[in-house]
């Protein structure tokens, strides 16, 4: 087995194990509606074994970045449907990543209301808004009833994803966003059933999985975790124990896959308490996808050594719309231009050349 081997994911037979990782690109239009530019972008990359879209808000409360798409209005569903239809015409498969940023937001996105979080723990630094850079605010700690409402919003978003023609959904529980904020004791200071113990801090993620699975079937659900991640000031006192527990619990959920973000250079630089991949592979028995600085050689190695079943690529897929073909032929790869990652036009988005 290698990157070019076929693989069965849920009820789908995928043409390779080279997945397109979710990447925020800030190209949607007014009211967070996907547009023609996004259609071109995703269709260009339909040769991926699986496309996982950029983070897509489940509600207005989930917004934390400008020009990012949602999946909670009829116009957004219609916009995504054009994209999924085009990807399917190219014989591709596409999951939408469901996203709620939690505390990593600003009241200017929410008509003056504060961002929400498990606890009132303020991030340091500033956030980019439509009005420019602003200081982060101390978020509002969610009540239990508000948490239950968010669980239902995830379920509705998953139902909307099926209306939009997606093949499945990925639950974004990584990178310091809302579900990750509940998992980590650096941000979760609660004393109720959603805080304290590892079991309690894992509760919200498991409730979201159950609610979504009830709507679309667990075989259409993936989960993304970043056990070693420090993005958005994340930390945990014992991530090895915690994320091994989470991975073991996910076996019961019969998911399509678990998607792990490895410790990145920035995480190491910021003092990450690294959770090694073998710990997670031992704990999770299902289909495991890995992400984080992989090239062809490292990707093949992790599959051949049975540490993962597939590899997701971010910057390489961003800059190389035909990445599977380029990897197979060992041809030169385009280099990504970081200055265009979050701009609003086709430059550095749909103008990277194919072979």
Instruction: Note whether residue 293 is domain-resident.
Output: yes
What CATH number does the domain containing 244 carry? Answer: 3.20.20.70
Instruction: Note whether residue 346 is domain-resident.
Output: no
- Is the torsion defined by CA of 39, 226, 203, 143 positive or negative? negative
Block residue for tokens 């897929």? 317
**Do the beta carbons of residue 32 and residue 68 sit within 8 Å?**
yes
**Do the beta carbons of residue 300 and residue 2 sit within 8 Å?**
yes
List, as one string, the DSSP characters of 112-142.
Answer: TPPPEESS--PPSSEEEETTEEEE--PPEEP
Torsion of CA 320, 326, 330, 331, to 10 degrees: -60
Instruction: Note whether residue 300 is domain-resident.
Output: yes
Close Cβ partners of 111 (under 8 Å, ≥ 6 residues apart) = none
Instruction: Note whether residue 352 is domain-resident.
Output: no
pLDDT at 121: 98
- Token reading at 280: 């997670």
pTM above threshold 0.85: yes
**Do the beta carbons of residue 35 and residue 66 sit within 8 Å?**
no
Instruction: Note whether residue 171 is domain-resident.
Output: yes
Tell me which residue range forms the domain holding 235.
Answer: 7-340
Report which of 25, 35, 30, 233 is spatially closest to residue 130, judged by C-alpha positions: 30
Distance, in Å, from the CA atom of 174 to the CA atom of 225, rounded to the nearest integer, reads 4
Instruction: Note whether residue 64 is domain-resident.
Output: yes
- Total of domains in the chain: 1
Close Cβ partners of 123 (under 8 Å, ≥ 6 residues apart) = 103, 104, 136, 232, 233
pLDDT at 10: 95
pLDDT along the chain (355 residues), means of 10: 97 98 96 98 98 98 97 98 98 98 98 98 96 97 98 98 98 98 98 98 98 98 96 96 98 98 84 92 98 96 98 98 98 98 97 97
Block residue for tokens 């956030």? 127
- Is the torsion defined by CA of 126, 60, 170, 326 positive or negative? negative
Count other Cβ atoms within 10 Å, centred on residue 252. 10
Half-sphere exposure of 8 (CA within 13 A, CB side): 4
**Do the beta carbons of residue 9 and residue 51 sit within 8 Å?**
no
Instruction: Note whether residue 61 is domain-resident.
Output: yes
Burial category of 8 from C-beta neighbours within 10 Å (exposed 0-12, middle 13-18, buried 19 and up): exposed
Instruction: Note whether residue 347 is domain-resident.
Output: no
Q: Where are the alpha helices (DSSP H) in 119-222?
A: 144-163, 178-183, 198-201, 203-216
- The residues annotated as belonging to the active site are 177
Residue 7 main-chain phi, psi, to 5 deg: -150, 145
Residue 135 main-chain phi, psi, to 5 deg: -65, 145
Angle at CA 55, nearest 5°, toward 210 and 220?
Answer: 35
pLDDT at 333: 98
């Amino acid at each position: 087995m290698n990157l070019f081997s076929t693989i069965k994911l849920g009820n789908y037979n995928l043409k390779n194990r080279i997945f397109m990782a979710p990447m925020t690109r800030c190209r949607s239009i007014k009211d967070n509606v996907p547009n023609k530019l996004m259609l071109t972008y995703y269709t260009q990359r339909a040769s991926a074994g699986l496309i996982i879209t950029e983070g897509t808000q489940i509600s207005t409360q989930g917004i934390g970045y400008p020009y990012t798409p949602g999946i909670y209005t009829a116009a957004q569903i219609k916009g995504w449907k054009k994209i999924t239809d085009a990807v399917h015409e190219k014989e591709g498969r596409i999951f939408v990543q469901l996203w709620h940023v939690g505390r990593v937001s600003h009241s200017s996105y929410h008509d003056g209301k504060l961002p929400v979080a498990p606890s009132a723990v303020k991030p340091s630094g500033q956030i980019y808004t439509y009005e420019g850079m602003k200081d982060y605010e101390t978020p509002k700690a969610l009540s239990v009833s508000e948490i239950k409402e968010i669980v239902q919003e995830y379920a509705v978003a998953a139902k909307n994803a099926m209306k939009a023609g997606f093949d499945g959904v990925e639950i974004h529980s990584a990178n310091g966003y809302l579900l990750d904020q509940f998992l980590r004791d650096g941000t979760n200071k609660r004393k109720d059933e959603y805080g304290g113990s590892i079991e309690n801090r894992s509760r919200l993620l498991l409730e979201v999985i159950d609610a979504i699975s009830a709507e679309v079937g667990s075989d259409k659900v993936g989960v993304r975790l970043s056990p070693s991640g420090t993005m958005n000031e994340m930390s945990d006192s014992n991530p090895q124990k915690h994320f091994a527990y989470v991975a073991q619990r996910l076996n019961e959920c019969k998911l399509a896959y678990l998607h792990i973000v490895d410790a990145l250079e920035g995480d190491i630089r910021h003092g990450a308490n690294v959770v090694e991949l073998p710990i997670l592979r031992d704990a999770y028995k299902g289909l495991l996808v890995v992400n984080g600085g992989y090239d062809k050689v490292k990707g093949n190695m992790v599959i051949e050594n049975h540490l993962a079943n597939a590899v997701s690529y971010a910057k390489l897929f961003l800059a190389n719309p035909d990445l599977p073909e380029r990897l197979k032929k060992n041809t030169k790869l385009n280099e990504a231009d970081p200055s265009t990652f979050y701009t609003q036009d086709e430059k550095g988005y749909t103008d990277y050349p194919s072979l």
